[in-house]
Amino acid sequence: MSTATLAKGIEETLDGPIGYDVQRVREDFPILTQKVHGKPLVYLDNANTTQKPRQVIDALATYYSEYNSNVHRASHLLGERATEAYEGGRAKVQRFLNASRFEEIVFVRNATEGVNLVAQTFGRKYVKEGDEILISAMEHHANIVPWQLLCAEKGATLRVIPINDAGELLLDEYEKLLSPRTKLVGITQMSNALGTVNPVKEMIATAHRHGVPVLVDGAQSAYHMAVDVQDMDCDFFVFSGHKLYGPTGIGILYGKSEHLENMPPFMGGGDMIKTVTFEETTFGDPPYRFEAGTPHIAGSIGLGAAVDYLTGLGMANIAAYERDLMAYGTAALSEVPGLRMMGTAKHKASVYSFLLDGIHPNDAGELLDRQGIAVRVGQHCAHPVLQRFGVTATVRASLACYNTREEIDALVRALHKVRELMGA
Ligand code: PLP
């Protein structure tokens, strides 16, 4: 079934998540029909990376088999088609994020590179000795380490917004931490380790009252909820294509034009210049100023197909469906004896991060895998937040648009089995 037809079906019947036909969605994901260790695959490692719909796989295959060419420089038909499709991917992302301008969408490799780009260009230009960068206690390493590197270089200080025991940001503390020394706030819209969804719109408004720009890490949020960068009024927003049902190696940095236009280049090379002599180089305008060298052409095309796919399903429909599934799973998991959930925020999405009494997460992960259940175990590239909760690792099961209540039931059954096998 085409995405358009599917979307039509949903719109016509949508009444909360009831109109969302997850079985039809699943048919679009060829990988989901396989067995692992002789058991049907239950893929619950979506916060790590999501599976790809046929529409994305086909778009990549079509590019490579029908019009593979370099972009912006070929004087032939294939090159024109490639350029059109590559820039078409940018236009689709612009609409997906509701960015006001095409030029505000910069292609990067992933969310990590997006944060590093801002730290190394905007940060290097504006952050001085004695200044402060403010992040939160629940950040992924991708939104910690680039700022630490910048602070070390500049003699600036990294400050951290604390969280409570449920995994929610302490907003009073946040406001107190903002000062004339604060040069940027970097916050995740959704925590990969806890599932907490942060009130970024309000936090941005608060920062702006203090004249401080805000970078939002959308790596976890962008595939679970509709994002509107104009409404949110963030200064920068980053996400990775591979978590958004698209290919690896492509990500997005959205930046307000007023910032991008004043930022120096990130890397030097072809495609990012206006003129080059041995004495002097003049740089291109955004977004090309930040895109040196041959880009990930297939990545943009695949990401464009992923965005089309999600738009077809409707982000509001996906969010409603996943909200329902999340509540179902929270109730079901609470019945597992000895299961301790880390992250119980009121606003939470699609992540269960938990411990089983007396069972090491690595053992649980392995025994779940043997039963066909794919989860992640470990520190989730978020050491500080795990330290905050006094644990060294958790088991993380995370949801996507194709997961079902039956799969949650399978997870719960498998957890009972893990307890039995471990003698817990
Ligand atoms: N930020 C968050 C909240 C994440 O969950 C992740 C990845 O898990 C990242 C950033 C980094 O994403 P990537 O490794 O694709 O750059």
Q: Which fold has domain 3-52+313-416?
A: Aspartate Aminotransferase, domain 1 (3.90.1150)
Number of the ligand 1 atom closest to the C-alpha atom of 113: 16
How far apart are the C-alpha atoms of 326 and 160, rounded to whole Å?
Answer: 29
Confirm if 88 and 299 have CB atoms less than 8 A apart.
no
Ligand 1 lining (C-beta closer than 6 Å): 110-112, 140, 142-143, 188, 192, 217, 219-220, 240, 381
**184-242: pLDDT as tens digits:** 999 999 999 999 999 999 999 999 999 999 999 999 999 999 999 999 999 999 999 99
Q: How many angstroms does the Cα of residue 112 sit away from the middle of ligand 1?
A: 6
CB atoms within 10 A of CB 9: 15
- The confidence score (pLDDT) of residue 73 equals 82
pLDDT above 90: residue 18: no
Residue scoring higher pLDDT (73 or 421)? 421
How far apart are the C-alpha atoms of 219 and 196, rounded to whole Å?
Answer: 13
Which helix (H) or strand (E) covers residue 354, if one does? Answer: strand 351-356
Confirm if 377 and 398 have CB atoms less than 8 A apart.
no
How far apart are the C-alpha atoms of 231 and 99, rounded to whole Å?
Answer: 9
Helix (H, G, I), strand (E, B) or coil at 189: coil
- The confidence score (pLDDT) of residue 169 equals 98
Q: How many angstroms does the Cα of residue 424 sit away from the middle of ligand 1?
A: 34
Q: How many angstroms does the Cα of residue 239 sit away from the middle of ligand 1?
A: 8
Which helix (H) or strand (E) covers residue 305, if one does? Answer: helix 297-313
What predicted TM-score, i.e. pTM, was given to this entire model? Answer: 0.95
- Nearest alpha-carbon partner for 25 in 318, 366, 303: 318
Q: How far is CA 319 from CA 199, 238, 313, 397, 402, in A?
A: 16, 19, 10, 17, 12
**Domain 3-52+313-416 identical in fold to domain 58-311:** no
Number of the ligand 1 atom closest to the C-alpha atom of 217: 1
**318-332: pLDDT as tens digits:** 999 999 999 999 999
**154-183: pLDDT as tens digits:** 999 999 999 999 999 999 999 999 999 999
Nearest CA to ligand 1 atom 14: 112
Strands lying side by side in the sheet with 339-341: 339-341, 351-356, 394-398, 376-378
Task: Note the CATH number of domain 58-311.
Answer: 3.40.640.10
Burial (Cβ within 10 Å: 0-12, 13-18, ≥19) of residue 369: middle
- What amino acid positions are annotated as catalytic residues? 381
User: What letter would DSSP give residue 157?
Assistant: E
pLDDT above 60: residue 8: no
Ordered by start, the domain boundaries in the chain are: 3-52+313-416, 58-311
User: What letter would DSSP give residue 125?
Assistant: H
